[in-house]
Structure 1
Amino acid sequence: MNLFDVQDKVVIVTGAGRGIGRSVAKGFADAGANVLVCSRTERELITLREEIEATGGICEVAPCDVTVQSDIEHVIRIAIEKYGKIDVLINNAGITKKMPAKDIALEDFKQIIDINLTSVFLFAQLVGRVMIEQGSGKIINVSSVASSQGLTGSIAYAASKGGVTMLTKTLAIEWAEYGVQVNAIAPAYVETPLVEVVKQTREGFEAAIINRTPMRRMAKPEEMVGACIFLGSEASSYMTGETIFLDGGWKAYGL
């Protein structure tokens, strides 16, 4: 028995156009899952589907604004009409804007909370209803080391990710009796387009992060795949409400 088998599972990945979401979607497809990828940018999703299909994988594209309920409902309809079920939801979509807390505009704060936290709840709630009806399902939320440690210049991001961690715990205990497991992964800095923007706008940022990380490098997006496969498979059958930190030793290292 392969405890890590995800063959033929139906997996929805949000924020799949680039970065962590793209790598996780490809990882599940390579492992034999039927992947439904979501993002606001359809062009990126189409190229992702082409990459997955070129290696024999199965991928459906569903452009989606994760802050719009009707868009999420459309994604769910596609999954149910095509496959008749949803096995795994990976809530990955997220943004950040680096600025001091004293300067951040309320509209920027709200936008980050809406995309990073409110959309996670909304997608989980709507997919969770399907999973409760099925009697099974796994939800994987992408949190961050910022969920447990303050990061300067990231007040809204840190608040949103702290919320994701507690949302994960609460959904897990509410839905455990229905066979629905809810867990999270919490990366430190990953080499994604989101982090690349910060690297280009903050002098010395990359060197500071590498020096602060015991493994002396940032993570690669594909290094998030293994934990997600674990959480999406029977290997994690007795695990719920937990957050796996993928941080190169960041959280363990105290100063």
Structure 2
Amino acid sequence: MTSNLFDLTGRVAIVTGGNTGIGLGMARGLANAGATLAIADRNSDNAAQAKAELEKFGHSVLALTTDVTDTKSVAQMVVATLGAFGRIDILVNNAGISISAPIEEMALADWQKVIDVNMTAPFICAQAVYPAMKAAGRGKIINIASVLATLGAGGAANYASSKGGILQFTRALATAWAADNIQSNAILPGWIDTDLTKRAKEIRPELHDRIIGRVPAQRWGTPNDLAGAAVFLASAASDFVNGAALTVDGGFSIQG
């Protein structure tokens, strides 16, 4: 057993949606703990900036343009990561989108797009990294769900349903691959201050005060608030944690 249970030196992590927001916050934590990183994002606009920032921690970073809903693109992501670093120890399924509308007005295409990105893509990515993890005799898969996975969300039924599905998928992975020494867990972020939620606040100006009023910490979360949870679930410290759902929401979901 390593003397530092949280040390990720020598480990290689793929973080989807790792260029900005929560993905970048978790990538910072992993890099600070010693991990070598591949950040994969469909939008390459922020890739160079994210790569430069993460490399300041002293480890190599591979920035990849990846469509996580496309099996060929994900396969290329895995091949590129193995080609650059020779191994894949950690997968963070973070890439996600939200398209809100009342259920009675939601277009089928908007329902399907959110399901494809938020729930089907983690399945594709997990399948793609499995051979490398099985061959290595160990692995960590971290799926990013949401507190809305367990709360009612009439205006975001597609998003909430996809995140609820991710919880069950995490449990399925945990059961199926435990014999291969692969642990699969989920993180449930609350209201985190990102570009996505900034747009939500612009559409609903009352949202800021509503969240502040419900969170006991009386603040929105930041992407860096997810770093510790990611490091824990990626490290030897969580070797007997499997199929768990770790909520990181400042206490939002415990309020009545």
The residue that corresponds to 1:127 in the other structure is 129
Q: AA paired with 1:46?
A: A
The residue that corresponds to 1:194 in the other structure is 196
Task: Write the distance in 1 (CA, Å) between the matches of 2:18 and 2:222.
Answer: 15
The reply on whether 1:80 has 2:77 as its aligned counterpart is: no
Q: Could you list the per-position Cα deviations for residues 61-89 of structure 1 after superposition, in whole angstroms to 9, with x for gaps in the alignment?
A: 11101101111101110121122210000
Corresponding residue pairs, total: 254
Q: AA paired with 2:93?
A: N
Q: AA paired with 1:44?
A: N
The SS at the match of 1:244 is: strand
Task: Write the distance in 1 (CA, Å) between the matches of 2:56 and 2:228.
Answer: 22
Task: Write the distance in 2 (CA, Å) between the matches of 1:43 and 1:252.
Answer: 37
CA shift at 1:28, angstroms? 1.3
Verify the 8 A CA contact 1:26 1:52 in the aligned structure 2: yes
The residue that corresponds to 1:113 in the other structure is 115
Task: Write the distance in 1 (CA, Å) between the matches of 2:45 and 2:57.
Answer: 19
Task: Write the distance in 2 (CA, Å) between the matches of 1:129 and 1:146.
Answer: 32
CA shift at 1:4, angstroms? 0.5
Task: Write the distance in 2 (CA, Å) between the matches of 1:152 and 1:210.
Answer: 21
Task: Write the distance in 2 (CA, Å) between the matches of 1:125 and 1:200.
Answer: 38
| Higher alpha-carbon deviation: 9-18 or 49-58 | 49-58
Verify the 8 A CA contact 2:31 2:57 in the aligned structure 1: no
Within the candidate set 212, 218, 229, 1:210 is matched to: 212
Task: Write the distance in 2 (CA, Å) between the matches of 1:41 and 1:98.
Answer: 21
State the TM-score, normalizing by the size of structure 2. Answer: 0.96
Verify the 8 A CA contact 2:9 2:35 in the aligned structure 1: yes
Matched ranges for 1:65-104 at <5 A: 65-104=67-106
Within the candidate set 137, 140, 144, 1:138 is matched to: 140
Q: Could you list the per-position Cα deviations for residues 86-125 of structure 1 after superposition, in whole angstroms to 9, with x for gaps in the alignment?
A: 0000000001122211111000000000000000111011
Q: Provide runs of 4+ in structure 1 moved above 6 Å.
A: none
Task: Write the distance in 2 (CA, Å) between the matches of 1:44 and 1:8.
Answer: 26
Q: AA paired with 2:37?
A: V
Task: Write the distance in 1 (CA, Å) between the matches of 2:131 and 2:115.
Answer: 23
Q: List gaps (5 residues or longer) in structure 2.
A: none
Task: Write the distance in 2 (CA, Å) between the matches of 1:15 and 1:154.
Answer: 20
CA shift at 1:30, angstroms? 2.1
Matched ranges for 1:1-255 at <5 A: 1-254=3-256
The SS at the match of 2:51 is: helix
State the TM-score, normalizing by the size of structure 1. Answer: 0.97
CA shift at 1:130, angstroms? 2.1
Q: Could you list the per-position Cα deviations for residues 115-149 of structure 1 after superposition, in whole angstroms to 9, with x for gaps in the alignment?
A: 00000111011112321222210000000001111
CA shift at 1:55, angstroms? 4.3
Q: AA paired with 1:20?
A: I
CA shift at 1:188, angstroms? 0.7
Two-structure CA RMSD over aligned residues (Å): 1.1
Q: AA paired with 1:94?
A: G
Sequence identity percentage: 37
Task: Write the distance in 1 (CA, Å) between the matches of 2:204 and 2:45.
Answer: 29
Task: Write the distance in 2 (CA, Å) between the matches of 1:134 and 1:219.
Answer: 35
